[in-house]
Amino acid sequence: MPVKPINTSLNDRVSAFAKAGSILSQYLDSNHSAIDIDKDLWTVTINQTLLLAEQKNSWFTKDNLLYALQQWSEALTEDNLNQWLAPYHLEEVTTKKVAVIAAGNIPMVGFHDVLSIILSGHYAQIKTSSNDDVLLPWMLKLAAADLPELEQSYEFTQDRLTDFDAVIATGSNNTARYFEHYFSKKPNIIRKNRNSIAVLTGEETHEELVALSDDVFLFFGLGCRSVSHLKVPIDYDFDAFFKAMYEKRELINYIKYSNNYDYNKAVYLMSEFKLLDNEFLIIKEETESYASPIASLGYSYYTNDQEIVQEIENKSEDLQCVVSNDSMQKVLQPAIGELPAPQLVDFGQTQKPRLSDYADGVDAIQFLLTIS
């Protein structure tokens, strides 16, 4: 069944999401001197929403939820939105129904896909993860409060997806195989597991390594942009790394993190792995995978620059981000810069993607234009 054209202009849609970003900014700004009635009502609503999201998924702690809101409040401005969309020709889009199967590993991880669909003039049929089914509907209601017609641009469903023209689906490697089979006859973006790594040289400053602790620990390391593996030179001294990671030692007081730390440490010790441990983070040598359990990191050695360049080129489809200092980025850029992914990222920036930083390096807006 054809989808009715969306009865809003691009400018109106941009303004609505920018207004949502402004409300988030006001909420997060503890220094504002006056609270108007509308703002006060939103404060109550936001507090209730964050509490419900945390109750439904205890990995969504208040700090992590506020961090996610902060990033979106900074992204959702009219300048940022217009700058992001400027390179595309969105004037004559024929509205299609685009199904979204969203992940739930970190707060609002599926919002960028939905935002891309709605702003490009399409209709989003959204299937949320049970781990994150509070925040995404609420964010769209926040935008629709300024533009009620926006509600004609999306729907949520937990039933079987039907009558869609294209699909954007995110899942594990196992579910991706199912997605590729089930959605093979429709235009699609299918995302699999990816991990992020840090390439260290041993010349990093303390400040850079402290920034790296954000890349490792934000969202408990559950995101595909979270650093889960270290590439280090032969004879690397981990003392400076552990000293910087110690900034996040309070994590061990969170019971779910602590339980994972204890469990993984016990498993590793029973398997007689050689470990490095600072009482809240375990690291062990790992050459088979970039993935690592919560409260642990893998590491592996490289002997020269060309070796690490070659490895990243060969395993680019497994990687989302590569974190490094400026000197290493200059080494990696000529080869990796030509690839859709991974993205080269400064220390402390993996969980601060720009609107144009597409997951897996696949331009979602360009994809949505091709189906129009």
Reported as a single tens digit per residue, the pLDDT across 322-333 is 999 999 999 999
3-state class (DSSP) for residue 85? helix
pLDDT at 2 over 80: no
Query: Per the structure block, which two tokens stand in for 360?
Result: 């897996």
User: Does residue 38 lie in a domain region?
Assistant: yes
Please indicate, yes or no, whether residues 200 and 144 belong to a single structural domain of this protein.
no
78-125 pLDDT tens trace: 999 999 999 999 988 899 999 999 999 999 999 999 999 999 999 999
Please indicate, yes or no, whether residues 156 and 220 belong to a single structural domain of this protein.
no
pLDDT at 314 over 70: yes
What are the φ/ψ torsions at residue 60 (nearest 5 degrees)? -85, 75
Residue type, 212: L
Please indicate, yes or no, whether residues 185 and 208 belong to a single structural domain of this protein.
no
What percent of the chain clears pLDDT 90, i.e. is strictly above it?
86
Residues 6+ apart with CB under 8 A from 256: 58, 59, 220
Q: Which domain holds residue 184?
A: 10-193
Please indicate, yes or no, whether residues 175 and 263 belong to a single structural domain of this protein.
no
Please indicate, yes or no, whether residues 99 and 201 belong to a single structural domain of this protein.
no
3-state class (DSSP) for residue 146? coil
Task: Quickly count: other Cβ atoms within 10 Å of residue 12's Cβ.
Answer: 13
Please indicate, yes or no, whether residues 119 and 213 belong to a single structural domain of this protein.
no
pLDDT at 1 over 70: no
pLDDT at 247 over 50: yes
CA-nearest of 96, 75, 204, 55 to 215 is 204
- Show which of 157, 173, 193 is a domain's final residue: 193
Please indicate, yes or no, whether residues 19 and 126 belong to a single structural domain of this protein.
yes
Please, what's the b/e burial string for 52-86 (b: 16 or more CB within 10 A of its CB; e: otherwise)?
A: ebbeebebbbeebbbbbbebbbebbbeebbeebbe
Query: Per the structure block, which two tokens stand in for 41?
Result: 């009502």
340 bridge partner residues: none
Please indicate, yes or no, whether residues 152 and 254 belong to a single structural domain of this protein.
no
- Show which of 136, 165, 193 is a domain's final residue: 193
Please indicate, yes or no, whether residues 134 and 95 belong to a single structural domain of this protein.
yes
Region 308-327: mean pLDDT is: 96
Residues 6+ apart with CB under 8 A from 14: 78, 81, 82, 85, 119
Q: Taking a C-beta distance cutoff of 8 angstroms, is the pair 293, 259 a contact?
A: no
Degrees to nearest 5, angle at CA 127 with 67 and 66:
10
User: Does residue 143 lie in a domain region?
Assistant: yes
**What's the CATH code of the domain at 149?**
3.40.605.10
Please indicate, yes or no, whether residues 54 and 156 belong to a single structural domain of this protein.
yes
Number of domains in the chain: 2
